[in-house]
Amino acid sequence: MTTMTRAFFRTPLGYLEVTGSENGIRTIDFLNFKVRPQHIPSCLRPCIDQLGEYFHGSRQSFDLNLDLQGSRYQLKVWHELLKIPYGTTVSYIDLAERAGNAKAFRAAGGANAHNPVSVIVPCHRVIGANGKLVGYRGGLKRKKWLLEHEHAFSQRDLFYGKL
């Protein structure tokens, strides 16, 4: 049996709780309260380090093993989320089309809402067809911040070249 471990990471948006095991990262959730950071288990260290680089603006993609648990359709949608480039957005209809059925945008939205690995599986990059920010388990203020953060660093890289 695999032992699940957890760690906490302070971000500009509050604390994240990261859970996982030697099999990979299982969950990343924003917390709405403060925690006292503890020892970081070695299996979670790469995730914490890469999240730090992301929030610092020096990482645009993640190289981590994920241990995602969900239905076949949820896994398909989450896999499609991983393909959305840093600093860009797609609509729920686009996401549903990428997952195989543009008419299933509500189902794609439901899978997006149940994404267990916030930030790394970038569900925040999905917006309404009208361009408005809708639906984010971490809250719309956090979604807006993440999109503005990525936009700022992707624009910097376009102007100066990758640093």
User: Residue 25: beta bridge partners?
Assistant: 20, 66
Catalytic sites, residue numbers: 123
Which CATH number belongs to the domain containing residue 42 in this structure? 3.30.160
- On whether both 51 and 86 belong to a single domain, the answer is no
* Domain assignment of residue 15, given as a range: 5-56
- On whether both 129 and 76 belong to a single domain, the answer is yes
- On whether both 77 and 48 belong to a single domain, the answer is no
Return the pLDDT at 116: 96
- On whether both 101 and 155 belong to a single domain, the answer is yes
Which CATH number belongs to the domain containing residue 76 in this structure? 1.10.10.10
User: Residue 152: beta bridge partners?
Assistant: none
Domain membership of residue 63 (yes or no) is no
Return the pLDDT at 158: 47
Distance CA 73, CA 78 (A): 9
- On whether both 49 and 82 belong to a single domain, the answer is no
- On whether both 85 and 45 belong to a single domain, the answer is no
Q: Which residues of the chain have pLDDT under 50?
A: 158-159, 163
Return the pLDDT at 1: 67
- On whether both 91 and 37 belong to a single domain, the answer is no
Overall number of domains in the chain: 2
Q: Quick one: CA torsion of 66, 139, 33, 38, rounded to 10 degrees?
A: 20
Distance CA 163, CA 154 (A): 11
- On whether both 144 and 81 belong to a single domain, the answer is yes
